[in-house]
Amino acid sequence: MSAIRLKTHRVEKPWGRHTLWPGFPDPAPEGDPVGEVWFQTLDGSEPDLLVKYLFTSEKLSIQVHPDDEAARASGYPRGKDEAWVILAAEPDSTIALGTVKPLTGDELRAAALDGSIEHLVDWKPAKAGDVIYSPARTVHAIGAGLTLVEVQQNVDLTYRLYDYGRPRELHLTDGVAVSDAVPFAVEDKSVVVAPGRTILCEGGKFVLERWSWDGERSVTLPADRPGLFIPVTGSGTIDGAAWEAGECWAVDGGAAISVAPGADILFSYPGPERLEF
The one catalytic residue in 160, 168, 210, 225 is 160
Task: Give the single-character DSSP code of 183.
Answer: B
Task: Give the single-character DSSP code of 48.
Answer: S
Are the CB atoms for 5 and 247 separated by under 8 Å? yes
Question: Across the chain, which distance is largest between two alpha carbons, in Å?
Answer: 57
Q: Rounded distance, CA 136 to CA 83, Å? A: 11
Contacts of 233 (CB under 8 A, 6+ apart): 22, 245, 262, 263, 264
**Helix (H, G, I), strand (E, B), or coil: what is residue 269?**
strand
Considering only CA atoms, give the Rg of the chain: 19
Q: Rounded distance, CA 66 to CA 71, Å? A: 6
Q: Is 140 annotated as a binding residue?
A: yes
CA distances from 65 to 78, 97, 158, 256 (A): 10, 13, 5, 36
Q: Rounded distance, CA 56 to CA 36, Å? A: 9
List, in sequence order, the alpha helices (H) in 121-219. Answer: 172-177
Single out the residue of 254, 229, 257, 227 nearest to residue 241, CA to CA. Answer: 257
CA distances from 247 to 112, 230, 234 (A): 38, 6, 11
Q: Note if 72 is an active site residue.
A: no
Which of the residues are catalytic? 160
Binding-site residues for Zn(2+), in ranges, read 65, 82, 140
Binding-site residues, in ranges, read 65, 82, 140
